[in-house]
Every structure is written in C-alpha cells, then in structure tokens.
Structure 1
Amino acid sequence: MFPTQRKHILLMSSWFPNRLDAFVGNFVQRFAQLLTSEYQVSVIHTHGDPACSRIEKEIDESDGVFTVRIYHPVSKNKFVHWYWQRKALSTALDEVEEVDLLFAHVILNRGLQFIRAKHFYHCPLIVMEHASYYRKEIREKFTRIQRRIIKRTSLHINELLACSAFLQEDMKAIFPTTKSTVLPNFVDTELFYPSVTTSTGYKRFLHVSTLDESVKDPETLLNGVALAVKAGYPDLHLTVISDQPSEKWQEMAAQLGIAGNVTFGGPMSWNEIAEQMRQHDAFLLTSSYETFSIVLAEAWLTGLPTITTPVGIGKDLDPSLGIQIPIGAPQALADALQQLIDNTIQFDVSVIREKGLEYSEDKVIGQLKTIFERHLIDHD
C-alpha cells in the first residue's frame, strides 16, 4: 500500500476493466486516477471467469492507485455461484485496510457488495450512477432480484450521484427520497484540444460509440449519411470508431451504396481518439439514450460542432454548439449534414471549447472534494 496520511478512498464498481474485457468501466478507472491528487486511493473488483477453477488474485500498484482484482469460478448453480462471489469479495476486502469512504459506481449487479464493504469498513457510502437502465422502458422490466438489489442498496447510500441532470430525472422514479446530486464525468483537457489548423469547411464527420443498436442507433447514422450523399453531397465522409465488431454496419454501408463514404476503425486509445477528433470537422451522435455521453464533452473540448439527438448532456443543445435532431430521424440528420457542408451555419471554436471545459478534471475533482469532505467530517 502507499504510505500516506491522506484520507483513504475505496472505489468499487459493477463495471471495471478486467482480463475478460479491458474497456468496460474504464471511466471508473479514470476516476480512481483523478482522485490520487487529493487522496489515497484503492480499488477492489471481483469478476466471474469461466476459466477459473479457484480464486485467483491480481494485485497492481500503478498511477497512484492500489488495485485488487479477484477472479472466481462461474457456476450455473446459483448457491454455488453466490458462494464464490462472497469468497471473492472476502478475499478482496482482506487486501485493503482502514478505508475512510467508499465511492461506488453502478448499482447493478454489485450493489449488495457495496453494502457489505460499507459495513466491513464502517464508512460512508457514496454511489455514482452512469447506467442507462433507469429509463422507463428498461426499469419496468427489472427482475425481482434487480429490484431487491436496488432497494436494499438505496437504504445504505449516504449520497447518490448522477452523471447528468438527464439521468437524475430518470432515477427519481426509483429513488424518490434518496438525496441525489449531479456530478458529471470528466474529460482530459490536455488530451482533447482544438486543431492548430482551421477547417475550411465541413466534410469530415466523426462518430465514436459501441454501435450498440439498442441505444446508439447506427442504422439512423448510416441512413442519414446515405440520404445526404444521394442528395448531392458525394464528398461527405464519415469515420466510425468503435471498440466492438462493425461487420454488420460495414455491410449495411455497402448495401446503401456509401461504402466509399464511410471508414470503420477501432478500438482506439483516448490519445488516438483525441487525434481523430482534431482531424475531423464535426461530430455526430444519433443515440436514442445516453446518461452522459463523454464523447460529446470530448468533441466540445476539441472545438467540434456536433449534430446530436437530445440525450445526456446533449439535451437542449445550445445552437452555438451544433444542431439538435430528433431521435431516429435519418432525414433530419441528412438535412443537418447538408447545412454544415453548405456553410449555412458558422461556429466559434473557442465558444465550443469553453462548453467542454465545464467537464474539466479540476472542476470535477473540486465538486468531489466538497461532497467527500462533508461525509468524511460526519464519519470522523
């Protein structure tokens, strides 16, 4: 462990990078790194691995963060699986001592682990939500176990954080009386910055997502581009970056006759995505739902105007930042693309960047310190 007199913050999350998926929950890992400027920081995470026949421990100390990952066997027998989950968590808890505050992320499906850790360390529990399962059409389909996890966890939360006002509103149906605060995700202001060369027009468009058709709506994205190309804009080019397979969407682009207008790439590091943003003229987001949308904040920091649906931090988009389009409306996307290419709207890079700076590391760590300190004082 790192020798320090600073307060000790422990992070836990239902999503966290692991040997089975190196990208899931990477924003939680970044929160851990952010907090090291003010606190001693540890992370514990348990994960089922079908390749395991016993508990396997993975401990890492890097970037100022002490991280404990415990892998455990997976069983179809729910009682056996429960046994391995509890044993994995016990193993993890034994590796970290004297925690002052537990900062947990994403209640489903590890909320009960958060409760156990809170009792183990006798410390306050602050939970930050990022997940999209609070929207009405999803929450109405919660299983009995999911409802139980959420209800029990809510009884032990000292403060609930939502990554956007958009998400906070959806969460009220589940947490009508729980104290909640909006705390945004943050963006690396040194990594995402505008290009030194000024674009002479809007022809190069960028989209970054998982391409999950249930929320990212790549079908509207490609249909909108196809409509714009067919309307007389053959020089339009879209770059799609994703950390998930894109073969289905490459095939769709070919069927629409725009294979030459769309380039698929990824996965990419944040450094590579930042460079890609500087090489493009505008950013496109066609999601049907977002709790935050970190890529919008990154695009704004880079000075890119955005065409976006009214989701996450893109809801009620200021016209100085781009063009808002309805959800699932490829013709509206095509019209917006044509407006940009025709230069009928002018944007100020400095104004767009200023909006992105609302999500800077300094502002978010300042907000977190204020939240943490009031609970740490009560705890002391």
Structure 2
Amino acid sequence: MAIDQKKTVLFLPAWYPNRTHLSVGSFVRSHAEAINTKLKVDVLLVFGDESLEKLFDFQQTNVNGIDTYIQYFKKPKSTGAIAQFVKASLYVIGQFYGYFLYRKQQPKPAFFHVHVLTRAAILPFVLNFFSKTTYYITEHWSRYLPADNSYQGWLRKLVTKQVVKKASGITAVSENLKLNMLRHGLAHPNFKVISNVTKPIFFNGYRYKESLPIQFVHVSNFATCKNVKGILEAVQLLNSRGCSFSLKMVGSGEEYEAAKIITEQLGLTNVTFTGFIYGTAVVEAMTNASAIILFSDYENQPVVITEALSLGVPVIATSVGGIPEMINQSNGILIAANDVEALAAAMLAVASGEIKFDSEVIKADALQKFHPSVVANQFLDFYRLGGAEI
C-alpha cells in the first residue's frame, strides 16, 4: 500500500532537544526523523524552564525537516511538594494549551505517538474520552528496571496502566525493558520491541582501521549510573601494568567535573575530556576508537552502542539491561557491572590484539538493525497492527 504523505503523526515526547537542553531525548528526535521519511512527523513538547519570565512561551521551529512546537512553562525552582504540584499542573495546562496553539496552525493529526510515559500521554488519553483518538506509546525509560526502581507510587501506576490500556500499541527499545514493563503489569496485545535508530552520518563511508593508535572512547551524559569513576580506575590499573593507550571522555553531565578531579588525583595523563559535542564531532571522536567503553550499572539500549556498531567499532560494555541483546563475540566484549578488573582485562585484550574484530561484519550487522529505514518500516507495521490506516 502506498504511503499517504498527508498523514501526520504528532509526537508527544517527555524528552526532546530544546533551547535549555540540547541533547536530552536526542534518540526520540532520531525516531522522528526516521519516521518522517515515510509519514509527516510533527513534534509537540512541553518543557519547564526556570529562567522563563512569563508563565508560558510557545515556540515553533523546523529542525532537520521536523516541524517542532515547544510549549515552555515557568518551572518552579523549589523542589517541595507544593512546587511539584504546581509544576505538574503547569505541565498539563501547557500541554492542552500547546495543542490548542498547534491546532490553530495544523489540522488534527491522524494519530499521536507518545514517547516516555506517563505525563506526555495525558493529552491523547483525555481526548479519547470525548472523541476517537488514536495514540501509540514508545518507552525508553529505565525506571522499570530493578536496578533503577524509580517506577513507584500507587497513583502513578494506576494512571500508567490506564494510559497503556487505552493505547493502540506500545513499543520498548529492548526485550529487557519490555520484560520489566510486563513485570509491572503494563501489558498490551500490540506490544513490540523496536530499536533505537542510528543517524545516517554514522553509516557513511567509514571503515575502522586496526592500525590506529590504541585509543578507547567513552561517550555518555556522565550520569551516576555510567560509573565513569570505575572506568578511570581501570585506566589506572592498566597504566600500572605498562599498557600504552589513551582514553577520550566525550560528553558532559552531573559527574563530569568529578571525573576530571578523579583523573587529576589518579595522575592519569593519558585521559582527555572533550565536553559536550554533537553531530560530526561525535562521529570523528568515535571513528578513532579501538573500542567504545560503557561501564554502566544499568541501561536500556544505549544509543552510543548502536552508533559505535554502525561505524564498525567494537564495544566493551557491562552485561546489564538490553546490552546483551546488542553485544556478542563478533562485535564486542561483555563484562560484569562494577568489575574494574574485568574491564581492565577486556581493554588489555583489545590493546594487545589478543581479541580482534572484523569492522565490516560489525557494520553490516548494524545496518540491518539500526538504519533509519529499517526502524521506520518497523514502526509503520506497528502502526498498522494498531489500526492506523497509512
């Protein structure tokens, strides 16, 4: 069946790049860009901004062909109970007000696609009581995993179950995430696993070369769960054993400054920090890697792994969450979480050439799993199973 390009899906993400956070929810934008090659994708984001002088500020932009509408609201600076209630109320009001302003410019979308539960689903869930409103859900959040365990509260769970029940389908980015959502009673007849997507720039014209100097690269948001301290301890361990290599730390976040301090304290002169970079700068940083390192305590499906594999670069990562679904003997090394000795041993095996990888095999496999066209077609099939006429 031919795709009707006039059909519009309105993304309702809880996380999406915006003027205050350039990288948050970038994986959602990648999904939007992939689907936008098949259907028209618009995005409506509601986001709190503490610096806002007025109560609401509606902005419209077009980024990479996606019409993006962002309803900023004045986020309270306090973290108290009353402030949290005000924040939640402003979010809900902002979502309906933002949709009203969106509809003044655009016709009603064919259906909605919520990314990250639960607040982003409030609009289509409520609209469904007044007129037939079709919406789908994609979940990315690790809060359902035992290691995270932040899916708490009877009201949150009650609302989330009702939101899922009314949806026309739900996807998770890994089998592990789906399993843990089912464990919490979030079941649906149309429940699929659809991967994160790799941006096309990671597939274009790169061939990993083993002749490059040994350099490991870590890319993350430097959250506590990424265990960057453990990576640095592994570097110190290898340095003490006379191994010659370098480590590049890419990104920024809550543990970034602490990681720089630890690096100085440990005397690690072979570690450098780039800060936050994006686009081709990230591609260039990763293409020079002998392997990408991810030493997380828990994960779902890290985009940095899909990106590395799409470049043909092997990955050393912890066997947590959805990572074992991505990494095997042909494309990387799995180790136990928080096992610094195991991480150091894996890095040494790569640095010494004891373990080698075929970058073309890695890249060809990634192309079949993470390319935008592959993921977009999976979403089209998912929409159709939920009853969408596209």
Give the TM-score normalised by the residue count of structure 2. Answer: 0.88
**What 5-or-longer segments of structure 2 have no aligned partner?**
77-81
Looking at structure 2, the residues matched to 197 and 159 of structure 1 have their Cα atoms a distance apart, in angstroms, of: 39
Partner of 1:65 in structure 2? 66
Spell out, residue by residue over 1:146-193, the C-alpha distance to the aligned partner (whole angstroms, 9 max, x if none).
Answer: 323322322222211000112112111123532311000111244345
Deviation at 1:60, TM superposition (A): 2.0
Aligned pairs for 1:204-223 within 5 A: 204-213=215-224, 215-223=225-233
Q: Where in structure 2 are the equivalents of 1:42-53 lying within 5 Å?
A: 42-50=42-50, 51-53=52-54
Counterpart contact for 2:96–2:123, Cα < 8 Å: no
Distance 1:193 1:324, change over 3 A: farther
Percent of aligned pairs with the same amino acid: 23
Summarize the alignment of residues 201-280 of structure 1 with structure 2, pairs less than 5 Å apart. Answer: 203-213=214-224, 215-233=225-243, 235-244=244-253, 246-258=256-268, 260-280=269-289
**Measured at CA, do residues 26 and 227 of structure 1 come closer, stay the same or move farther in structure 2, by a change above 3 Å?**
same
Which whole-Å CA distance do the structure 2 matches of 1:120 and 1:304 have between them? 51
Q: Does 1:309 align with 2:310?
A: no
Whole-angstrom distance in 2 between the partners of 1:131 and 1:187: 18
Q: Is 1:361 aligned with 2:372?
A: yes
> Which of residues 92, 98, 116 in structure 2 aligns to 1:92?
98
- 1:16 is matched with 16
Aligned-partner Cα distance in 2 for 1:161–1:120: 25
Matched residues, number:
373
Q: Distance in 2 between matches of 1:77 and 1:330?
A: 41
> Separation in 2 of the partners of 1:231 and 1:84?
56
Q: Shift of residue 287 of structure 1?
A: 0.8
Contact 1:112 1:152 in 2 (8 A): no
Report if the CA contact (8 A) 1:6-1:38 is conserved.
no
- Gap change, CA 1:169 and 1:273, over 3 Å in 2: same
Which range is displaced more, 191-200 or 56-65?
Answer: 191-200
Name the aligned partner's letter for residue 294 of structure 2: L
Q: Give the Cα separation in 2 of the matches to 1:81 and 1:223.
A: 40
State whether structure 2 residue 179 is matched by structure 1 residue 173: no
Find the aligned partners of 2:24 and 2:127 in 1 and give their Cα distance. Answer: 22
2:46·2:94 contact (CA, 8 Å) conserved in 1?
A: yes
Which amino acid in the other structure matches residue 249 of structure 2? V
| Distance change >3 Å, CA 62–CA 273, structure 1 → 2 | closer
8 A contact 1:194–1:278 mirrored in 2: no
Please point out which of 148, 154, 168 is paired with 2:158.
148
- 1:13 deviates by 1.1
User: The residue matched to 2:144 in structure 1 has which SS?
Assistant: coil
Among 372, 376, 382, the alignment partner of 1:371 is 382
RMSD across aligned positions (CA):
2.4
The answer to whether 1:39 aligns with 2:39 is: yes
**Aligned-pair CA distance for 1:229:** 1.0
Secondary structure, counterpart of 1:327 in structure 2: coil
* Counterpart for residue 350 of structure 1: 360
TM-score by length of structure 1 reads 0.90
Quick check: 2:177–2:322 contact (8 Å CA) kept in 1?
A: no
In the TM superposition, residue 105 of structure 1 has moved relative to its aligned partner by 0.5
User: In structure 2, do the counterparts of structure 1 residues 137 and 310 end up closer, same or farther at CA, with 3 Å as the change threshold?
Assistant: closer
Give me the whole-angstrom Cα distance separating, in 1, the residues matched to 2:312 and 2:49. Answer: 42
State the distance in 1 between where 2:130 and 2:308 align. Answer: 41
**Alpha-carbon distance in 2 for matches of 1:22, 1:121:** 35
Distance 1:318 1:102 in 2: 36
Amino acid at match of 2:59: E
Deviation at 1:18?
2.2
Change (3 A) 1:353 1:196: closer
Per the alignment, in what secondary structure is the counterpart of residue 54 of structure 2?
coil
Out of 198, 215, 221, which is 2:209 matched to?
198
Question: 1:202 touches 1:341 (CA, 8 Å); kept in 2?
Answer: no
1:226/1:188 CA distance change after superposition, 3 Å: same
1:80 CA drift (Å): 4.8
Contact 1:102 1:118 in 2 (8 A): no
Q: CA deviation at 1:254?
A: 1.7
